A and B are shown apart, each in its own frame.
Chain A
Amino acid sequence: MDILVSGFLLAGTYALIAMGLNLQYGVARIMNLANGEMIVLGALAAFWAFTSYQISPLLTLFLAAPLSFIGNWLIYKFLLRPLVKRAKNQGQLEVDSILATFGISFALVGIMVSIHGEYFTYSFLANPIEVLGSTVAENRLVAFFIALAIGLVLYLWLNHTRAGTSVRAVAVNADSARLVGINVDKVSALTFALGGAIATVGGVLISTFITLDASIGVIFTMKALIIVIMGGVGDIRGAIIAALILGIVETGVATLVDPGLTLVAAYFIFLLVLLFRPQGLFGRRST
């Protein structure tokens, strides 16, 4: 039971890390290597608001998310749009966007180091709570439920609204979407901004239970990439299922076998998925 509860909570963390990148890569086709820095920015905002003004991270969420949405929208409009326009095909856009966002990530790290180069560490809801007979931290539980809510809302929005349908249409085939009158440009920009905002929300929540610093973003980017590729690019269900698998397997291995083998187990599963389902658990075979 301990394994399941802790595993689900860890999966919540992983889902928070990966959902933003999933949208950005799946729909806007931007392989955003600065995704981790967006997470760390959220953490920095939460840390700063909490230590300077005693503002609860749960409140910071509502300030950081719109700010991040606007910031990411601007990044897309001014820095990534030209790349999209110029790219002759998907491959070229991927290479260009990797290079551009890699550069953005360095700039963001530099900015964050100059704001606060030390660890972002504070205590928020670090109290034990019993869940199904297992002791867990309240802050992780809160993060899990918010991750669940975001995942659910995203899923419903994507599958049951007109706007969501056009997002999915762009994800499937941008050229055909344009033919049926969808403003691909606008949809891509909004989805990219939404993905960034979700990453920032994830960062705010994660900072309540993980100690971060300005340069740790790349670790989150890596984890997010693994989850997105495992789950299938552009499918929110895939990201959530992949996060669940990783969370439960890592916790199970740490509890039953050895905490030292968690990374091995995670990469082993990743390898299996790549070998037997290279398009990801919920991915479509590229035509």
Chain B
Amino acid sequence: MIRRNVLKVLASTSIAAVTGLTMTFGAFAADTIKIGAVAPKTGPLAGGAVITQWPNVELWVKQVNARGGLKLKDGQKMIELIEYDDKTNPAEHIKAVQRLATQDKVDFIIAPYGTGFNVAAAPIYAKYGYPQIAVSAISDKIEELTERYPTLFFTLGTTTSFVEGVRDILVKMKDEGKIGNKIAMVNVADAFGIELADAARPIFKDAGFELVYDKSYPLGTPDLSPVMKGAKASNPDAFVAWSYPPDTFALAEQAIIENLDVKAYYSAVATCFPAFAGKFGSKINGVLGAGGVDPTTEKMMSYRAEHEKLTGKVPDYWASANTYVSLQILEQAIEGVGSTDKAAVTEFIKSNTFDTIMGDIKFENQFSNKFWTVGQWQDGVFKGVSSINVDGAVPVVEKSGWN
């Protein structure tokens, strides 16, 4: 008997608690705008996403809420952020987006992290009509993709422009007599590395270079010393690696061990990470890498200071800023429209110019043709040395040894 009563009491309190919760939740929901974010927190891409993607989401939400929320026609609304880990698995990502759209009923979703994820998830974003301002996505198929998906925007550039950025730097060094025409090129055997290496072969050849070493290695190779030994034995004037984070670190370490003596050393993703300089210190002075920023503009300096203050992390010298820019665009478009009408916000993004920490951004055919392609570590800062339509590039310096 007592037991039954206890159960009854328990049941009624829990029902009361649940209704209470839903009621506060309902009242709460009216004052907020719900934003979803899906990106890796675990899995192979997590190491990059927790540097480039997640801290910027955190920073942006904190900043917007600190000033009282997003200004809509029916008053200011705080952002309620719903985060999911996609475990670096496209299927998980799509499931999470579905959940955000149908169960959490979010108003907007922040674009995925990684080229493959942005492309794989584009249909589902388009299906639910969410504008997808892709940042960490580089492709030569942008025209085709944006034509097919009217909600998809690209901001970080094309594969070819990244290769051409490297080519232009090498050509200039060759013309100045600083390097010869022999390039050793390696790539990670993964969609990203293969696409870049395939694009690079004809571009380097047409520019009068000879590929004296051209090999790929599997993702997660535990020992890259045979690769570096082979590259060194080919006696190159320049070394180019279309690499991913773990191997970007491993290649630089092997280059130091083998004392690879080149005047130009380039590695792709993660060269711009603060951890890269943290690991190697002054030894990587003169190393070229994908990306870059102009750290001297006032807007960029205040962004970097805020990023460090509010998230406790140092932003990278490339896509961190672009990621923040994409959130600024989303913010300005939502406020410009003044409501959570997804179609109207998408149209607003297509037809307006946005004032961001990288200057004015405007989309043409859903593509913002304004980005950094190559940066270089110069005295502890990774500075942009080559860009498309961005000002502030500094001259390239020769790499002189690994000290």
**A interface residues, Cβ below 8 angstroms from B:** 2-3, 6, 9-10, 13, 51, 109-110, 113, 117-119, 121-123, 126-128, 135-137, 140, 209-216, 219, 250-251, 254-255, 258-260, 262-263
Check if A6 sits within 8 Å of B215, measured CB to CB: no
Interface of chain B, helix or strand or loop or mixed? helix
Which B residues are CB-close (under 8 A) to A213?
A: 46-47, 246
Which of B116-124, B140-148, B221-229 touches A?
B221-229
Contact for A113 among B41, B246, B256, B259, CB less than 8 A:
B41
How many angstroms from the CA of A269 to the CA of B221 in the assembled complex? 17
B245 interface residue per 8 A CB criterion: yes
Cβ of B380 under 8 Å from chain A: no
How far is it, in angstroms, between the C-alpha of A127 and the C-alpha of B256 when the chains are bound? 8
Q: Are A137 and B257 in contact (CB under 8 A)?
A: yes
5 contacts between A and B (CB under 8 A): A118-B47, A123-B280, A216-B44, A250-B223, A255-B230
What is the distance, in angstroms, from B203's C-beta to the closest C-beta of chain A? Answer: 21
Please measure, in the bound complex, the distance between the C-alpha atom of A128 and the C-alpha atom of B257, giving whole angstroms: 5
- The reply to whether A255 and B46 form a contact with Cβ atoms under 8 Å apart is no
Q: How far is the CA of A128 from the CA of B283 in the complex (A)?
A: 14
Smallest beta-carbon distance A4→chain B, Å: 12
Chain A residues with Cβ below 8 Å from B54 are 117
Interface string of B249-292 (1 = CB under 8 A from A): 11001101111000000000010010100111100000000000
Q: In the bound complex, how far is the Cα of B254 from the Cα of A13, in angstroms?
A: 16
Given A117-B46, A260-B215, A126 contacting B223 (CB threshold 8 A): no
Count chain B CB atoms within 10 A of each CB in A6, A10, A126 and give the residue with the most. Answer: A126
CB-CB under 8 A for A211 and B246, given A13-B223, A113-B42, A259-B217? yes
Complex partner residue of B217 from A6, A126, A136, A260, CB under 8 angstroms: A260
B216 interfacial by beta-carbon distance below 8 Å? yes
Q: Does B43 have its Cβ within 8 Å of any Cβ on chain A?
A: yes
Q: Are A259 and B221 in contact (CB under 8 A)?
A: yes
- A209 to chain B minimum Cβ distance, whole angstroms, is 7
Tell me, in angstroms, the Cα distance from A117 to B43 when the chains sit together. Answer: 10
The 10 closest A-B pairs by CB, nearest first: A254-B226, A117-B50, A259-B217, A213-B47, A211-B249, A260-B216, A215-B42, A255-B226, A119-B47, A128-B257
Whether the Cβ atoms of B222 and A136 lie closer than 8 Å is no
CB-CB under 8 A from B222, the residues of chain A are 10, 13, 210
Least CB distance from B111 to A in Å reads 20
Q: Tell me the bound Cα distance from A276 to B152 in angstroms.
A: 53
* Interchain CB contact under 8 A, A128 and B258: yes
The smallest C-beta distance from B230 to any residue of chain A, in angstroms, reads 7
**Residue of B with least CB distance to A209:** B253
**B interface size (C-beta, 8 A):** 43
CA distance A215 to B87 in the complex (A): 9
Residues of A within 8 A of B186 (CB): 259
Across the two chains, which residue of chain B brings its CB closest to A223? B222
Give the distance in Å from the alpha carbon of A140 to the alpha carbon of B229 in the complex: 16
B101 within 8 A of A: no
Residues from chain A with Cβ under 8 Å of B50 in the complex: 117-118
- B249 A119 Cβ-Cβ under 8 A: yes
| Cβ contact of B257, chosen from A118, A127, A219, A263, cutoff 8 A | A127
Q: Look across to chain B and name the residue whose beta carbon is closest to the beta carbon of A128.
A: B257
Selected from B221, B249, B253, the residue in CB contact (under 8 A) with A137 is: B253
Which of B88, B220, B227, B250 makes the CB contact (< 8 A) with A259? B227
B212 in the interface (beta carbon within 8 A)? no
Query: Would A121 and B279 be within 8 Å (CB), given that A126-B253, A214-B42 are in contact?
Result: yes
CB contact under 8 A between A117 and B256, given known A136-B225, A258-B215: no
Contact pick for B223, options A113, A127, A251, A260, CB 8 Å: A251
Chain B residues within an 8 Å CB radius of A214: 42, 46
Task: Indicate whether A2 sits within 8 Å of B229 (C-beta atoms), given known contacts A113-B46, A211-B245.
Answer: yes
CB distance from A193 to the nearest CB of B (A): 26
B51: interface (CB < 8 Å) = yes
Which residues from chain A contact B225 at a C-beta distance below 8 Å? 6, 136-137, 251
Q: Which has the most chain A C-beta neighbours within 10 Å: B41, B47, B88, B281?
A: B47
Give the Cβ gap from B43 to chain A, nearest Cβ, in Å: 5
B64 contacts A by Cβ under 8 Å: no
Q: Which of A122, A123, A136, A258 has the most CB of B within 10 A?
A: A123
Please name 15 further chain A to chain B contacts, defined as beta carbons within 8 Å, in addition to the given A113-B41, A254-B227, sorted by A numbering. A6-B229, A118-B275, A121-B278, A122-B279, A123-B280, A135-B258, A209-B253, A210-B222, A211-B250, A212-B246, A251-B225, A254-B217, A259-B218, A259-B230, A260-B217
**Please, how many angstroms separate the alpha-carbon atoms of A66 and B246 in the complex?**
29
User: Are A255 and B223 neighbours in the complex by a CB distance under 8 Å?
Assistant: no
Give the CA-CA distance A140 to B275 in the complex, in Å: 21
Scan B175-218; emit 1 where CB is below 8 A from any A CB, else 0.
Answer: 00000000000100100000000000000000000000001111
Tell me if A136 and B257 are in contact (CB < 8 A).
yes
Interface pair B215/A215, CB less than 8 Å apart = no
Chain B, Cβ-Cβ closest to A251: B226
B37-55 interface (Cβ within 8 A of A): 41-44, 46-47, 50-51, 54
Q: Which residues of B contact A137 (CB under 8 A)?
A: 225, 253-254, 257
Q: Which residues of B contact A110 (CB under 8 A)?
A: 42
CB distance from A113 to the nearest CB of B (A): 6
In the complex, chain A residues whose CB is within 8 Å of the CB of B249: 119, 121, 211
**Cβ of B223: which chain A residues have Cβ within 8 Å of it?**
6, 9-10, 13, 140, 250-251, 254
| Contact across chains for A6 and B279 when beta carbons are under 8 A apart | no
CB of B309 to closest CB in A, whole Å: 18
* Complex: A121 Cα to B245 Cα, angstroms: 11
Closest to B50 in A: A117
Q: Given the complex, which residues of B lie within 8 Å of A215, measured CB to CB? A: 42-44, 46, 88
- Distance in angstroms from A44 CB to nearest chain B CB is 13
Bound complex: CA of A190 vs CA of B275, how far in Å?
A: 39
Q: Looking at the assembled complex, report how far the CB atom of A204 sits from the nearest CB atom of chain B, in whole angstroms.
A: 16
Tell me which residues across on chain A come within 8 A of B189, comparing CB atoms. 260
Contact across chains for A259 and B46 when beta carbons are under 8 A apart: no
